[in-house]
Amino acid sequence: MFDRYLHPRVKPLLNQIVAHLDRPAITPDRISLGGFVVGVLALPFLAMQWYYAALIVIVINRLCDGLDGALARRRGLSDAGGFLDIALDFLFYALVPFGFVLASPELNAVAGSWLLFAFIGTGSSFLAFAAVADKYQLENLDYPHKSFYYLGGLTEGAETILVFILFCLFPAYFPLMAWVFGCLCWFTTLTRVWGGYKTLKRVEKI
């Protein structure tokens, strides 16, 4: 929901950072992979209930996710890089709820499973529409800097990062927040499925 408003404000800062990082040995794909490796540490940190350590690596992962895209736009977008970026993003999103489940299975298992279930809905609707949108070469005016069609919704990247931060700061409230955010994710899924279906029905008639 907030991504389209935050991106224009964050991009100049990211562009300044990557201007200093733009070296032959540093590539967008390496930033993506490095950020993912750091982000994976959130899983054992959460399982051991080291919530502040998990928060730090989550923030680093998300920073790398912004930097790889900024560097890719500076050098030229790559379909392979875009694929790698989104695949690693969805894997990272899934490991955070799983980490909370491991931290306290008796308290977090059901709520964590609900959130993972909801993430499957948002992820599958997002990727399915992006694949078909490419076939029709649909133009995405809200996210023109993306290497694929970025279908928005109520719960996007900014909201997910925010809730992950809240999970780490207030882990005792994880079940409640997971249930609520999972419901919001399902609202996003339903609107994406319906909106995507109507959009594709319309372009099929053109």
Contacts for 75 with CB less than 8 Å, ≥ 6 apart: 22, 28
- C-alpha 112/C-alpha 94 separation (Å) is 10
pLDDT at 25: 86
Taking the alpha carbons of 82, 87, 88, 93 in that order, is the dihedral positive or negative?
Answer: positive
In tens digits, the chain (206 residues) has pLDDT values of 656 666 667 777 888 888 888 888 889 999 999 999 999 999 999 999 999 999 999 999 999 999 998 898 888 878 888 889 999 999 999 999 999 999 999 999 999 999 999 999 999 988 888 778 777 777 664 555 555 555 667 788 889 999 999 999 999 999 999 999 999 999 999 998 988 888 888 877 76
pLDDT at 34: 96
Count how many Cα atoms sit within 13 Å of the Cα of residue 134 in the half-sphere of its side chain: 11
The residue whose two tokens read 């499973």 is 113
pLDDT at 203: 78
Q: What is the pLDDT of residues 17-50, one digit of tens each?
A: 888 888 888 899 999 999 999 999 999 999 999 9
* Protein fold of 3-204: Four Helix Bundle (Hemerythrin (Met), subunit A) (1.20.120)
Domain boundaries, the chain: 3-204
pLDDT at 8: 67
pLDDT at 24: 84
Local structure of 187: helix, strand or coil: helix
Q: Is 69 exposed, middle or buried (0-12, 13-18, 19+ CB in 10 A)?
A: buried
The residue whose two tokens read 């590539």 is 27
- C-alpha 43/C-alpha 140 separation (Å) is 34
pLDDT at 61: 96
